[in-house]
């Protein structure tokens, strides 16, 4: 894609992979609208190509306001990166309704709301790229992460269906499945269920085995700039794979998931995580 006056919208852009992508693409001549709840986190940014914009992906009204603003100014959105997301850590037994709905409201319905608002612009312009940030946990289950996993499985399903739906309008739809990445995810955006983390919980052994290990692996994970580079590659290469894995853990587990039976794969994961 020729990147003169190309417009990108990224959700959840104030930290991690969203932030790295916003900065990287704006340095590569894209005009980037960084959708965020925290525009103040961009106070130190001086480049005119990186434009923080307040967006609440729970609200169609908030989303439409952003989209209308961009459309009025540029008549186009070339690339949408659906990146915003967080992780709920809870057993299914302990889930409360609000936690459960909130996880899907952000990771799944938020992505759908933003896509729904952007698609008519791309369709009219007969061109566009939608990149959904999923997870390697969109193909692999792990205990305590059932809601997060299922939200990312949903993102995979949405991506696969949308590809057919939008093909005739020259809109590409991709998903990226990151392994563990060193972002604000474990520090700020893992929400823990109090009952699950109670020392007297019947799941306490599982929690104490798995949770610190996952947090450590995230905090020592790959660097978010790798995702930014992949996103630029996807934009520039119209033959880029529909689904791409990135990061050490994704590269380890996704091929294994394809090769092994469900039972053998589960055995390997149990051994690896001591669960």
Point out the residues that are catalytic.
148, 152
Of residues 207-236, those binding ligand NAP (CB under 6 A): 218, 221, 224
Contact predicate 253/140, CB 8 Å:
yes
Contact predicate 181/227, CB 8 Å:
yes
Q: How far is the CB of 199 from ligand NAP (least distance, A)?
A: 26
> How far apart are alpha carbons 46 and 9 in whole angstroms?
18
By CB under 6 A, tell whether 52 contacts ligand NAP.
Answer: no
* Window 67-86: contact mask with ligand NAP (x via CB under 6 A): ----------------xxxx
User: How would DSSP label each residue in 47-70?
Assistant: -TTEEEEE--TT-HHHHHHHHHHH
The footprint of ligand NAP on this chain (CB under 6 A) covers a number of residues equal to 29
By CB under 6 A, tell whether 246 contacts ligand NAP.
Answer: no
Task: Retrieve residue 95's tokens.
Answer: 């889930």
38: helix, strand or coil: coil
Of residues 115-144, those binding ligand NAP (CB under 6 A): 133, 135
Q: Return the number of the residue (38 or 270) whose C-beta is nearest ligand NAP.
A: 38
Question: Would you give the distance in Å from CA 4 to the centre of its chain?
Answer: 26
Chain residues that interact with ligand NAP, rule: CB under 6 A: 12-18, 36-38, 57, 83-86, 106, 133, 135, 178, 180-181, 183-185, 188-189, 218, 221, 224
């Amino acid at each position: 894609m020729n990147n003169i006056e190309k417009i990108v919208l990224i959700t959840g852009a104030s930290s991690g992979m969203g932030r790295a992508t916003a900065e990287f693409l704006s340095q590569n001549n894209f005009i980037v609208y960084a959708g965020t709840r925290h525009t103040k986190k961009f106070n130190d940014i001086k480049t005119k190509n990186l434009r923080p914009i307040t967006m609440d992906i729970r609200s169609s009204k908030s989303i439409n306001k952003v989209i209308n603003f961009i459309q009025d100014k540029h008549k186009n959105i070339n690339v949408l990166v659906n990146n915003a997301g967080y992780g709920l850590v809870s057993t299914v037994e302990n889930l409360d309704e609000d936690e459960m709905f909130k996880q899907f409201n952000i990771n799944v319905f938020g992505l759908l709301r933003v896509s729904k608002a952007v698609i008519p612009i791309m369709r009219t312009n007969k061109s566009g790229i939608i990149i959904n940030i999923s997870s390697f946990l969109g193909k692999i289950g792990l205990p305590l992460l059932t809601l997060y996993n299922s939200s990312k499985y949903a993102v995979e399903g949405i991506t696969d269906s949308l590809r057919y739906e939008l093909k005739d309008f020259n809109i590409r739809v991709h998903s990226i499945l990151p392994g563990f990445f060193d972002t604000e995810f474990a520090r700020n955006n893992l929400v823990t269920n109090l009952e699950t983390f109670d020392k007297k919980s019947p799941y306490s052994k599982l929690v104490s085995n798995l949770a610190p290990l996952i947090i450590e692996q995230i905090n020592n994970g790959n660097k978010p700039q790798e995702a930014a580079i992949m996103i630029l590659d996807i934009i520039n290469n119209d033959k880029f794979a529909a689904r791409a894995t990135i990061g050490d853990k994704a590269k380890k587990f996704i091929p294994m998931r394809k090769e092994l039976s469900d039972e053998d794969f589960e055995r390997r994961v149990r051994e690896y995580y001591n669960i």
